[in-house]
A and B are shown apart, each in its own frame.
Chain A
Amino acid sequence: MELVCPAGSLPALKKAVDNGADAVYFGFRDSTNARQFAGLNFNDQRAAEGIEYAHRHGVRVFCAINTYPQPQGWQQWTAAVDRAAALGVDAIILADMGLLEYAANRHSDIPRHLSVQGSATSYEALQFYKDNFDIRRAVLPRVLSLDQVRGVAKHSPVELEVFAFGSLCIMAEGRCYLSSYLTDESPNSKGACSPAKAVRWEETADGALESRLNGVLIDRYSRGEAAGYPTLCKGRFEVEGDVYHAIEEPVSLNTLDLLPELKALGISAVKIEGRQRSPAYIADVARTWRQALDRVDCSSGFSVDPAWQSTLSGLSEGGLTTLGAYHRKWK
């Protein structure tokens, strides 16, 4: 299984390469990718440097152009595909059907990967993308249980990549409009969920800390309570008189325990989420997963090293991890 790591910056890319990634993925510095953050991502020159560095170390580079262009932005998105091709990336990660067709027609020699934003949760959906755009690989949304992944993998016409570690998105990706409902930006339209521009932190008279998104109270932390970024689905809200994490707790996905099963299913690659993370974070996560993948590949049997789990827990939201939807009971 291939280890695919995020590269939000050139230093992060180098850390991923140095610490055992088989492939890295990056986006351009605009809303053509689903991790648009101020100060992150690549212009063409930095991308060229990163690709040169990765290739010199035998690591492949994927370019994510996985948001949905509207007519007013169409040329910007097709230009991004052309730029990725000119840079010599090893694959382009796409979600939009129009853009997939553009890439298949103009740059047929560059493999196309279906982004998680393409919302393909069944082998029939994968067949649609295979038949129409000849995709080589697809990233599965984080909504399937392990049994369901097994069902998809058994009949999949393409390579599969699954999320292994990082932020847990609990909605079917590519079809979540919660962020644009509260703000005017969503992953699909602007490559942003709960965008930083809409975030406000306020301290109340009694010392509590409030996080707001476009004015909406997402969470309130009593004095001394650990506070997290106000991703809107991870806030505490009131439902029929109960105040709780009505949608999801702030935890991270961690599938270390599932590695042997994922390998047995024929999964081609595991993906680490987090282009918004620091180079030091990327280094720690990549190193840990490299060790785990190497151990899963040797025949002597796999067991999770407690040190790996403790490293990964330390890097997780709220220090907590979950198997998420892979574990049926989570649902």
Chain B
Amino acid sequence: MMKLSLGPILWFWSKQTVFDFYGNAADWPVDTIYLGEAVCSRRRELKPDDWFSLARDLSACGKDVVLSTQTLIESEADLRRLRRICDQHEFMVEANDQSALQVAIRNEIPFVTGPSMNVYNVATLKVLAKQGLKGWNLPVELGRETLEQLIRGLNEEGLDLPAEVFGWGFLPLAWSSRCFTARHYNLPKDNCEFRCLQHPDGMEVRSRESQELFRLNGISTLSGSRYDLMREMPDMERMGVSTVRLSPEHQGMDDVVDRFDQVRRGEIPATDPLHLVEAPPCNGYWYGEPGMALVQS
């Protein structure tokens, strides 16, 4: 049976909200939980020790815990935080940037690559496998055709590298040095007043024809539609996908996890629509179409 994972929280939530979220997640039918701040260096509601203690608690509840690293590393302070995450041997690390690869390799920590690492071919996976790679996420812009060939190529090489697919949530599409939330409020990034806390699922960007395009989330830009590969779960299972990633949202996440769990167990048809939160669904990337497209199969 395929595994389900909870990706790192991409939004900025208060410390209490984060603790409450994971307190609930401990009882959800997810196998793997990614913990840590993957987006913005200014988001420090939880200190490294808070994350480590959460990791131990969730691990004690039977979850596989992976520590996620920041996606855009810019400063020496960013590197210090990265080294702190890689200066332990209890948990695997999700490398979201090449700096993390380097530090994890140097410290001989097992690692997986996150969806922002450019893994587009088998040769790249072979390079990383020699260095301690234990699994990998398909970059969000790649679809089933490429994934199928990657898995086949890995099998031909005799490499056991489990593949994870971002299966539900707003897609992380870009990272900038500029903070778009601060920009919206005409605040400098260095004095942003932590306005992201007011937007627990980002700020909608619409075209002037009211089409939902993107969600601004600090320095990152996410998709305006919600990626939803629930119907594609049986297809993924046939292809040999190991894990389906669900990206945390602050409301209704327990329902999302339940539905994906029921689908992977074959208890409900994968075609049942999921009506949860207000955002149009999309699945285009999976089918080699523009990411925002919704392909009716």
A binding-site residues for B, Cβ under 8 Å: 68-72, 74, 95-99, 101-102, 118-122, 124-125, 127-129, 131-132, 143-145, 148, 151, 170-172, 174-178, 180-184, 186, 188-189, 214, 216-218, 220, 233, 235-240, 242-243, 246-248, 325, 328-331
Residues of A within 8 A of B73 (CB): 121-122, 124-125
Q: Is the CB of B188 within 8 A of A329?
A: yes
Chain B residue at minimal CB-CB distance from A129: B98
Q: Is the CB of A184 within 8 A of B118?
A: no
Would you call B123 an interface residue if the criterion is a C-beta within 8 Å of the partner chain's C-beta atoms?
yes
Contact A177:B290 (CB < 8 A) given known A71-B121, A188-B118 = no
Given contacts A143-B74, A184-B290, A236-B208, 10 further A-B contacts (CB under 8 A): A70-B120, A71-B122, A98-B125, A98-B126, A148-B75, A170-B176, A188-B118, A238-B206, A238-B207, A243-B208
Interface residue total, chain B, C-beta cutoff 8 A: 72
Q: Is the CB of B123 within 8 A of A240?
A: no
Q: Is the CB of A214 within 8 A of B290?
A: yes
Residues of A within 8 A of B221 (CB): 171, 178, 247
Q: Is the CB of B98 within 8 A of A128?
A: yes
Q: Is the CB of A216 within 8 A of B213?
A: yes
Residues of B within 8 A of A99 (CB): 123
Chain B residue at minimal CB-CB distance from A175: B116
Q: Is the CB of B102 within 8 A of A128?
A: yes
Instruction: Give min CB distance, A21 to chain B, whole Å.
Output: 28
Residues of A within 8 A of B146 (CB): 70-72
Contact A177:B173 (CB < 8 A) given known A74-B121, A238-B206 = yes
Instruction: Give min CB distance, A192 to chain B, whole Å.
Output: 13
Q: Is the CB of A217 within 8 A of B101?
A: no
* Interface mask (B219-255 → A, CB under 8 Å = 1, otherwise 0): 0010100000000000000000000000000000000
Q: How far is the CA of A102 from the CA of B223 in the complex (A)?
A: 34
Instruction: Give min CB distance, A37 to chain B, whole Å.
Output: 20
* Interface mask (B43-72 → A, CB under 8 Å = 1, otherwise 0): 000000000000000000000000000011
Pairs across A and B, CB under 8 Å, 30 listed: A68-B121, A70-B120, A70-B142, A70-B149, A72-B149, A98-B123, A122-B73, A122-B97, A124-B79, A125-B97, A125-B101, A143-B72, A143-B176, A172-B72, A172-B175, A175-B71, A178-B214, A180-B291, A188-B118, A188-B120, A188-B139, A214-B290, A217-B208, A217-B209, A217-B211, A237-B205, A238-B207, A243-B208, A246-B183, A331-B177
Q: Is the CB of A183 within 8 A of B102?
A: no
Chain A residue at minimal CB-CB distance from B130: A132
Would you call B204 an interface residue if the criterion is a C-beta within 8 Å of the partner chain's C-beta atoms?
yes
* Interface mask (B120-154 → A, CB under 8 Å = 1, otherwise 0): 11111111100100000001111001100110010
Instruction: Give min CB distance, A129 to chain B, whole Å.
Output: 7
| Contact with A121, one of B74, B189, B292 (Cβ below 8 angstroms) | B74
Q: Which of B123, B128, B183, B221 has the most CB of A within 10 A?
A: B123
Q: Is the CB of A119 within 8 A of B97?
A: yes
Residues of A within 8 A of B288 (CB): 184
Would you call B180 an interface residue if the criterion is a C-beta within 8 Å of the partner chain's C-beta atoms?
yes
Contact A97:B290 (CB < 8 A) given known A71-B150, A238-B208 = no
Q: How far is the CA of A129 from the CA of B210 in the complex (A)?
A: 43
Residues of A within 8 A of B214 (CB): 178, 237
Instruction: Give min CB distance, A77 to chain B, whole Å.
Output: 8
Q: Is the CB of A331 within 8 A of B179?
A: yes
Would you call B99 an interface residue if the criterion is a C-beta within 8 Å of the partner chain's C-beta atoms?
yes
Q: How far is the CA of A329 from the CA of B178 in the complex (A)?
A: 9
Q: Is the CB of A74 within 8 A of B123?
A: yes
Would you call B272 an interface residue if the criterion is a C-beta within 8 Å of the partner chain's C-beta atoms?
no
Instruction: Give min CB distance, B250 to chain A, whole Å.
Output: 18
| Contact with A128, one of B99, B188, B189, B205 (Cβ below 8 angstroms) | B99
The 7 closest A-B pairs by CB, nearest first: A98-B123, A125-B98, A143-B177, A181-B291, A71-B149, A128-B102, A68-B120
| Contact with A181, one of B75, B82, B105, B223 (Cβ below 8 angstroms) | B223
Contact A144:B177 (CB < 8 A) given known A68-B120, A121-B72 = yes
Would you call B161 an interface residue if the criterion is a C-beta within 8 Å of the partner chain's C-beta atoms?
no
Q: Is the CB of A247 within 8 A of B180?
A: yes
Contact A176:B121 (CB < 8 A) given known A71-B153, A220-B208, A329-B188 = no
Q: Is the CB of B189 within 8 A of A216?
A: no
Chain A residue at minimal CB-CB distance from B78: A122
Q: Is the CB of B173 within 8 A of A151?
A: no
Q: How far is the CA of A9 from the CA of B122 in the complex (A)?
A: 33
Residues of A within 8 A of B98 (CB): 118-120, 124-125, 128-129
Chain B residue at minimal CB-CB distance from A241: B206
Q: Is the CB of A98 within 8 A of B121?
A: yes
Q: How far is the CA of A240 from the CA of B285 in the complex (A)?
A: 28
Residues of A within 8 A of B216 (CB): 239, 246
Contact A246:B184 (CB < 8 A) given known A121-B74, A172-B174 = yes
Instruction: Give min CB distance, A2 to chain B, whole Å.
Output: 24
Contact A96:B177 (CB < 8 A) given known A124-B102, A125-B97, A189-B141 = no
Chain A residue at minimal CB-CB distance from B221: A178
Q: How far is the CA of A132 from the CA of B205 in the complex (A)?
A: 40
Contact A177:B208 (CB < 8 A) given known A97-B124, A101-B123, A121-B74 = no
